[in-house]
Amino acid sequence: MTTYGANDMVLDNWGLVDRWTADEKITSYGPSGIGFVNFGTVNVLQVNAPIETFGQGARGFNVYAGTVHSAEFERIVTHADGAVGIQVSQSVGEIRVHRGVETYGGTGNSLVKGVVVKLAAIGLSLKPGASARRIDIAGGLITHGEAVGPLELNGIVDSFQVTNGFAVTGGGFENI
């Protein structure tokens, strides 16, 4: 599944989903696009192929509202300024990534809930008020943007594990 337009969401939930499985690659080329965005409730989300975005401010996985009880991903990669890998603004259950989260970009504009804001292309961002029961990322959190850290943790995580570590190729950890 591929989208090309501005603000396009490849997979987008506004309701109640028991189980959602995606077996093919999810790709977004538009600015402020999102691979998977949630505004409702998802019990189980399983993405068995990479999510990859190429637009400024595009995000791989985003929980704006509602909750996702269990989310499992093969890999998440973003390519642009302001393009966050995983952004969580609410309470979620478990998030698992098998082959890492990687971002290629610095700070740039992104449309967030109808407002243009500056975001850094952080690998994993938990916003104030967000929480997670468990986050497990195999393959590391890797950022390539100038002065972009891999982790912004302004929420609460009960259990957090990253295997193969953190890597910053653009210089500096921020918001850790």
pLDDT in tens, 14-28: 999 999 999 999 999
Question: Which residues constitute the domain of residue 23?
Answer: 2-168
Residue 176 lies in a domain: no
Q: Is residue 33 part of a domain?
A: yes
- How confident is the model over 118-155, as pLDDT tens digits? 999 999 999 999 999 999 999 999 999 988 999 999 99
Q: Look at residue 174 and tell me if it is in a domain.
A: no
The answer to whether residue 124 is domain-embedded is: yes
In whole angstroms, give the CA distance from residue 46 to residue 40: 16
Residue 111 falls inside a structural domain: yes
Q: What's the total number of domains in the chain?
A: 1
Q: Is residue 173 part of a domain?
A: no
**Residues 86 and 110 sit within 8 Å (Cβ to Cβ):** no
Kindly state whether residue 175 falls inside one of the protein's structural domains: no
The answer as to whether 21 is a domain residue is: yes
What is this structure's pTM? 0.93
